[in-house]
Structure formats: structure tokens, C-alpha cells
Amino acid sequence: MRLTNFSDFAFRVLLFAAARPGRLITIDEIAETFDVSRAHLTKVVNTLTQTGYLKAYRGRSGGLALGKSPTDINLGDVLRATEPDFALVECMRSENHCVLTRACKLRGPMERALAAFQAELSRYTLADILLSETEFPS
């Protein structure tokens, strides 16, 4: 049971932006810091921009900044925006072929466990896990 790397990097991008409140950041900077491909990071940034967690400023001196205050960036909400799905077992997916689906009682406990996960993660915002810029490698 893992999150996607996409979500993992979304959290890192938000931490990176939150640690630099006075200025705009670039994908190149983030890619270099985390040693991750620019292409992968661009998709992550696009999702975070579309969902309002980041704001993109165009132009020669453009770049990215947090789109909301860290206290308004709920970690559970971020995860809901970045994970492709939370389909723990096959019957929770659209391409479901499990022959037990109609009678099966496993889905209930799975959904309640997932709800407990989300509820716990949603107790935190980005403000709770903020880092300062000096805590990033230079």
C-alpha cells in the first residue's frame, strides 16, 4: 500500500514553495533540489496549479508561488487532488470483474478504513509541516 510518486512530489513541491514565501520558484529549481525529472514535475505542478494550491505567474520573471495560505492547504484535500484513485480493491474500480461484487461484504470495511485514513490526514494542513528554506539542501 503506497501513494503514487505523483502525490509524494506534490507534497514536496508545496513544502518547497511554502519555505520561500517572499519569491517565485521555478520547476528547474525544484527538479534540481529533488533530483527528479522536469517532465514528471511539470505534470505535478500543473495539477497543483489547476487545483489552486499553486499560482503560476507568467513572463520573464515569472514562476510559481503557493496559491493559498499554508493554513488553508489541507493535507487530505491535497491527496484527494493528486491520487488517481483510492480504489483499494477491484470492486472499487470501474474496470471491475470480480464475480463476488454483488454479495461481497469486504468493500464496507475497506471504505471505512479509507475514510479513517482520510480523516486522520485531514487533521493537518501545510502549516503543520512547514520547513524553513535552510532545511533544504543548498
Residues found near a second copy in the complex (CB under 8 A):
1-5, 7-8, 11-12, 15, 33-35, 75, 79, 83, 85-90, 97-100, 102-106, 108-110, 112-121, 123-124, 128-131, 135-137
- Which CA distances in Å does 69 have to 41, 64, 74, 83, 128? 22, 14, 10, 22, 12
Phi and psi at 113, nearest 5°, equal -65, -40
Q: How far is the CB of 42 from a second copy (least distance, A)?
A: 19
Q: How far is the CB of 123 from a second copy (least distance, A)?
A: 8
Taking the complex as a whole, how short is the minimal distance between the CB of residue 112 and a second copy, in angstroms?
Answer: 5
Minimum CB distance to a second copy smaller for 13 or for 45: 13
> How many CA within 13 A on the CB side of residue 75?
18
Q: State which residue, 56 or 91, has the beta carbon closest to a second copy.
A: 91
Say if residues 11 and 130 touch (Cβ distance below 8 Å). Answer: no
CA 93 to chain CA centroid, Å, is: 21
Comparing CB distances to a second copy, the nearer of 35 and 61 is 35
| Grid cell locating 52 | 489552486
Residue type, 111: E
Min dist. Cβ of residue 22 to a second copy (A): 20
Q: Write down the least CB distance from residue 59 to a second copy, Å.
A: 29
Return the number of the residue (11 or 56) whose C-beta is nearest a second copy. 11
Q: Pick the closer one to a second copy by CB: 58 or 105.
A: 105
Q: What's the distance, CA 58 to chain centroid?
A: 23
